[in-house]
Structure 1
Amino acid sequence: MTEFAVGLFCSVLFLGLSFAINRRLRHGPLAFDPYRALLMASAVFALAVPLEALVDGFYATARGQLLWRYDILPRHGGSVSALGALIWPAYGLHLYWLLQVLEQRLPEGWRGRLLQALIIGLDAPLFFEVTGNLLFLAITGRYYAYYLPGELWHLTSWQVVPIYMLCLFLGLTILQRLLAMRPRALLPPGLYLAGLGFVWLG
């Protein structure tokens, strides 16, 4: 099985797991607006890949080593993977459903971006990254993203949690503004192509 085939399989498997968990947490059907879902998927990809390169680069400068290293189709010195073109949009769809759960389950007055960023900042490394790495290890025997700190068996690291929370607050602010705009058919594919361009330039 090629690396892209494994990435596609893991993305679909993760989406199925995400849908089932979020539907159960919501105690009912999840909304699905095709435009909003595609916008979330493409925007998350376009935002995530440059932030990966930026954050990992800063960490390496400060600490003398990368925080994570992609072992499958690495780009930008190992801080980004070409499989991000599949993996990050899948996470964007997971985020689309997770935000619906938070809107329903959090008490009114506690639904702001700050608390959402704090919660998702735990979800991203402890659910998304651990699940992804375990799937890749089970299928290929290799990590997708190998975390140099070893306190969580190199599947993820506690050190990324505050970084993710900060990045998520910024990302959720941008996503909210994009979702508030009048729908534009070319925006989701344009964002996706921007993400692809960044990946392949590395």
Structure 2
Amino acid sequence: MTTEQPSNTTRKRLIIGGAVAAVAAAGVIGVVSVNAQDPDPGTKTPVAADVAGGNLAQSTHLTIAAATKAAQAALDAAVKENQHVTVAVVDRDGNTVVTLRGDGAGPQSYTSAQQKAFTAVSWNAPTSVLARRLDNAPHLADIDGTLFLGGGAPVTARGGAPIAGIGVAGAPSGDQDEKFAQAGVAALGN
């Protein structure tokens, strides 16, 4: 029994055809990849979706200018009392918007200020009030990213909903830190 071997011509055609198919596929993938990374969203046709029926939520956030104004007011209040602190302002979602580390502030104050701000906005309450809640619910302190020490103050919208948190850390007491955080809130007119 004999088996037929493909001729050299057939073999060459198969190799060339496979190579052409591979190049074509790579080109399509390359085009898709380039289009996915297009930095100019204006070149795309926007996709419209009808989201009526309560499928949209609106939230309010501080501008960078307002967050900076609040942080600077808190830092200025601390400097007036000769305290070396760090001030952090976080948005409603707990993302840091502005952090100002004052001259001479300790290295631990940076993270502490952010955690106090996050805690204040998360529960819409000053962290000194929240610290007292630990007596009845000690496991609250186990929540990642929170710090239940005085020094955090929420910033609220007119209706009372939290829109930001200001945290201050580095003064000798949480009461002082919180007083400085409240100065930042006051600078915003709340």
Coarse TM-score class (shorter-chain normalised): 0.3 to 0.5
Query: Which of the two has higher C-alpha Rg?
Result: 2
TM-score w.r.t. length of structure 1: 0.31
Give the structure, 1 or 2, with the largest relative contact order (CA under 8 Å, sep 6 or more).
1
